[in-house]
Amino acid sequence: MKTRIRLRVHIVAALTIAAALTTFPALHRPSAQASESRRTSTVSSILCPYRWKEGAWQVKHLIRCAARRWHVAGGPDKALSVARCESHFHPRSYNPAGYAGVFQQATRYWPDRSDRYGFPNWSVYNGRANVMVSIKMAHRFGWGGWSCA
């Protein structure tokens, strides 16, 4: 009986690891930067587990959570104000001038920014990635880069 339970535990653990590796394919990079990205992305998902695809209400909670975690200037209220002005909390919003997502990130610079802030190869239209990268940028540089700040 104990052998069966142990076997089941090992199978569940192996399946969980396989699922995590297929969910985060960019985590297979064998570099120091990859391990840092892995930690940052995983921590971001654990800290603010809101389902941004379910609508603006969830996006707002994600923004509040991230703003509290990374202590942005003006706090969660400022972060919500900027996101409301930029996109009305719509992750799929696009500005023909080359800006996209909840915080209207410049699509030209998005690949580098997403890599730098822990979301390598994630889309600018991914609400979680856009919010987390934007909040981390605001934590580091302030809100000066946003037209609605």
pTM comes to 0.69
The full set of domain ranges for the chain reads 31-141
| Tokens standing for residue 90 | 């719509």
Q: CA 49 to CA 114: how far, in whole Å?
A: 19
Q: Where are the alpha helices (DSSP H) in the chain?
A: 2-23, 32-47, 56-69, 75-87, 110-116, 127-141
**Separation CA 75–CA 92 (nearest Å):** 24
Q: Dump pLDDT digits (tens) for 93-128.
A: 999 999 999 999 999 999 999 999 999 999 999 999
Q: Tell me, what's the pLDDT at 80?
A: 96
pLDDT value of residue 37: 43
pLDDT tens digit sequence for 49-101: 888 888 898 999 999 999 999 999 999 999 999 999 999 999 999 999 999 99
Query: What is the CB neighbour count within 10 angstroms for residue 31?
Result: 8
